């Protein structure tokens, strides 16, 4: 499972506010691997829920959907 605290880094490369809609995600450089962008977005979703545990898989899947949709 995804542990949002395991890979905590400095400020994410995705410039969004925790409650921003998927359509408002800022474009990121192509050299940032999609998995890293997904991880950071999933962590933002976790934080936006008040760091409530138990929904890590849902956060990951939502982040994955948002990030991969940008590539289309």
What residues does each domain of the chain span?
1-8+30-72
Whole-number pLDDT of residue 37: 93
pLDDT digits (tens, 9 = 90+) for 26-60: 555 566 788 999 999 999 999 999 999 999 999 99
Q: What is the pTM of this model?
A: 0.56
Query: CA 47, 51, 57, 58: dihedral to nearest 10 degrees?
Result: -60
Q: What mean pLDDT do residues 19-26 have?
A: 49
Q: 3-state DSSP call for residue 45?
A: helix
Hunting for tokens 């982040």 — which residue is that?
63
Count of H-run helices and E-run strands, the chain: 2, 0
The closest of 64, 58, 37 to 46, measured between CA atoms, is 58
Whole-number pLDDT of residue 32: 73
């Amino acid at each position: 499972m995804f542990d949002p605290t395991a890979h905590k880094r400095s400020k994410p490369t995705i410039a969004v506010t925790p409650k921003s809609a998927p359509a408002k995600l800022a474009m990121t450089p192509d050299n940032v691997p999609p998995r890293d962008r997904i991880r950071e977005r999933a962590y933002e979703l976790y934080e936006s829920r008040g760091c409530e545990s138990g929904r890590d898989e849902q956060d990951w899947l939502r982040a994955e959907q948002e990030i991969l949709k940008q590539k289309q």
